[in-house]
Every structure is written in C-alpha cells, then in structure tokens.
Structure 1
Amino acid sequence: MTNTQEITLHWIIDPLCGWSYGALSLLQATAQQWPAQFELHSGGLFMGYSRRRIDADWHLHVRDHDARIAELTGATFGEQYREHLCRDQSVVLDSLPASAAMLALQQHSGADALAFLAAAQHAWYVDGKDISQTSVLDAVAAKLGLAADVWQEARSDAAKQLASQAINRTRQLMAQHGAQGFPSLLVQRGTEYFNVPVNRFYGEPAALVQQLTQWLQA
C-alpha cells in the first residue's frame, strides 16, 4: 500500500470557473478522504490581460455552459446569478481577490480554504454577488466566522502579490504535466505526477474517491 505521506492531491480551480463550481463535491470528497494531502491551487482564469467586463456575448456563452454544468454535476445556479449578475455589464471578471484569499487561508492551520471557496462560489453562482469586490468577500468571511487578523491578512495587497506568483507557478505545473482547463487534478507521488480525468467523475464524488484509492494503492 502506498504511503499517503508521499502523496499530494493538487486541485487546480478558479473561483469564477463554472466547471470548478460544478466540481465542488469532488473537491470536498477528496479533502475529506485525504485532508493532509489535499491542496488547492488557483489557475487565474481572469487575471491581468484576461480580466474582462461582462457583456452580452459573455452572457450567452456562460448560459449554455451553465446549463451543461448543471446537467452533468447537479450544481445549482441561482436566479440572482442568472438574471442579474450575468447581465450586469458593470462587472469586471477578476479572479485575483477570491483566489488570493483562498490561497492565503490555506496557509493558516485554523482556516478552511475549501470552506471559503465553497462560500465564495455560493455567493457568486447562487446569490449573484460579485466576489471580485472586497466588500462581498468581507461578508463571506464574516459569515464563516474567520478571525479578524487572519482575514485582514488574506485580503491584503501582499496576499494578492503572493497569489499572483503562486498562480504563475501553477500554470507552469499545468503545462509540465498536461493539465488543461479548470478544474484539473494532478496527483503527485514523490517526484511523479499523473493527471486525473476529472470530467469522468462529475456528480459522482464517491466514484472518484474509489478510483483514486485504487490508483494510490496500486
């Protein structure tokens, strides 16, 4: 049997990626099964030159994708998201604020980065709140009961700078090991990596855990 201390599950997601939202149950199941080996990464879907304003073309694009995501994963997209946020052309898509907070919280043993990600995704995809806005993330943190000092650090400019560097490293990791798109799951065993076909397991977290268990014990 493989020593799980040698294993790391690298989940590469983006808070503003609908497929990453649909895969939340997969992340939660693997985090529950392998809490010490679970690691979150952000791919920075909307960062730098990739930041963009919501417009009619974007709305049509995500409408079709969201329907497919809901069908395959069972994810819920709320009316406030579908009818208001997705039509609000004042919103600029920016992955960095939520990504930076998530990555910073992962460095604190008493903070749950995955719980924060889930709450931020719910705020965006169900409640229709713009999580690129610090005030919205403040409300998410308050609802989770995060300690004030921990949250202040997570929302800081320094955290954003560190996150930008981490996202660059994550993109290099993806390129090196053939991971394409979000979500991606790279399982590291020592110095070796293998790319898990996450799309085969949408809506079936127990099946993913079972398959990973078999692979890790092989």
Structure 2
Amino acid sequence: MSVATLHYIHDPLCGWCYAAQPLVSAMQAQLGDRLALRLHGGGLFGEPRRVDAALAQHIVHSDERIAQLSGQPFGEAYKQGLLADEGTVLYSLPPIAAVLAAESLDAAKAYPMLAAIQNAHYQRGLRVVEPQVLTELAEEIGLDGTHFAQALARADGHTLFEHVQASRRLLDEAGGHGFPTLLLEVDGRRTLLPHHHYYGRPDAFVQMLAGQLPAVH
C-alpha cells in the first residue's frame, strides 16, 4: 500500500517531461507499491500554436540536448515529418484531457496514457491533438475506444480548465521552475526533487526516492 505520493507536474508536449519519462517509469516499476503517482497537467501550450520555422528550430535544439542528457529517442517521423510541417499545431489541452479521461476509466491507466502520448508524439510523429489519434492510443493501452471517446468529451471544458489551473497553483506553491516539476509528499510534507540531476540515470533516481520513503515494517 502506498504511504507517500510523487506529484508530477508535467505537460504531454514538453520535451523535458519526455526526458523525465524513464525516471517516472522506473519509479512506478520499482516503487509503485510504496509510492503513489499523481499527475498534474500544466498546459505548456494553453492555446493552439502553429509550428513555424523559428519555433521548429528552437524545439530541435532543445531536443538535441534532451537526447544527449536522457538518451530518449526522437523518431524521424517526428523530426522530418511533424516538426517540418508548418501545418502542425501544438496544443496541450487535448492530450491533458486524454490523460484525465483515461484516469476516469481506470486510475492505473493515467500514466500509461501519458507515456503513450509522449511516445506517439516524439517517436511516431503522430498528431496527438486529434481526438481520433488519442482514442487509438487509448485502445493501444487496453481501454475501450468508445468509452474513452465519451470520457474524453466529458473531460473537456470546465473539468479540464480546473485541472490545469490547479496544476499551475501547485507549481507556484512548490516553487517549481516549469515542467517537469516533481514533488515528493510524505506525511503531508512536500519536497521539491532535483530530478534534473538524474536524467539518463533512472536507477539512481529510484534510489534517491527510496532513501526518502518511510521504512517498510
């Protein structure tokens, strides 16, 4: 049974959150029985933003650094397809709504949905702002497509807005510096984690977390 919580303030379209994916995945695999994971989508692209040449160049430079530090792969369909197409739109709210929809159907599917969205975007070059793509990803992680599409429609609007606003308040309260921000909560006390020291070193990240958890009796 979980005795502590890892709060993950993220955005599905944030490259540095993709860099942190191996850290969070390793935590879930090795400490999931002792450490609950709560996802807080912050809305990096709160309004639709078309990828122009300047934005694409900025993203490419950032991705190169991310790949170097984290070892995370960036697919050709993403680099030569999605980023090279000036028709591509970056918009965080649909994928955040998809994570909320997955969570509403099965709490254990929230993080797999986030990881599936990240991988679809950065490796497969899929347009994860589109409901049909998000529904297909939900099916890939084992959710019923019809039920997911209905949950996605419910998650949009006021519920989504409230979630993003709450995530941003938590980020401000924690003194975080954007996405990702990771907070460890034990006995009601929250500690800001220096996750950036652990990019590319998921096992060391897990060891650091384990050292801060209450002893198992």
Regarding TM over 0.5, the answer is yes
SS at match of 2:100: helix
User: 2:102·2:138 contact (CA, 8 Å) conserved in 1?
Assistant: no
Residue of 118, 122, 136 corresponding to 1:121: 118
1:12-55 CA-partner distances (Å, limit 9, x unpaired)? 1111011111111111111221356111111110113xx31100
Cα distance in structure 1, aligned partners of 2:27 and 2:151: 24
Corresponding position of 2:40: 41
Same amino acid, percent of matched pairs: 38
Cα distance in structure 1, aligned partners of 2:57 and 2:163: 32
Cα deviation for residue 217 of structure 1 reads: 3.8
1:52-75 CA-partner distances (Å, limit 9, x unpaired)? 110000111011100000000000
SS at match of 1:39: strand
Q: Which residue identity lines up with residue 105 of structure 1 in the other structure?
A: A
Cα distance in structure 1, aligned partners of 2:207 and 2:108: 27
Cα distance in structure 2, aligned partners of 1:188 and 1:111: 19
Residue of 151, 155, 161 corresponding to 1:159: 155
Q: Does structure 1 residue 78 correspond to structure 2 residue 94?
A: no
Q: Does structure 1 residue 29 correspond to structure 2 residue 26?
A: yes
Residue of 133, 136, 140 corresponding to 2:137: 140
User: 1:30·1:38 contact (CA, 8 Å) conserved in 2?
Assistant: no
Residue of 11, 34, 56 corresponding to 1:14: 11
Cα deviation for residue 111 of structure 1 reads: 4.8
Cα distance in structure 2, aligned partners of 1:179 and 1:114: 21
Cα distance in structure 2, aligned partners of 1:107 and 1:134: 16
Corresponding position of 2:193: 196
What TM-score comes out, normalization by structure 2 length?
0.91
Larger displacement relative to structure 2 (89-98 or 106-115): 106-115
Cα distance in structure 1, aligned partners of 2:82 and 2:135: 19
Q: Which runs of 5+ in 1 are unaligned?
A: none
Number of aligned residue pairs: give it. Answer: 212
Cα deviation for residue 99 of structure 1 reads: 0.6
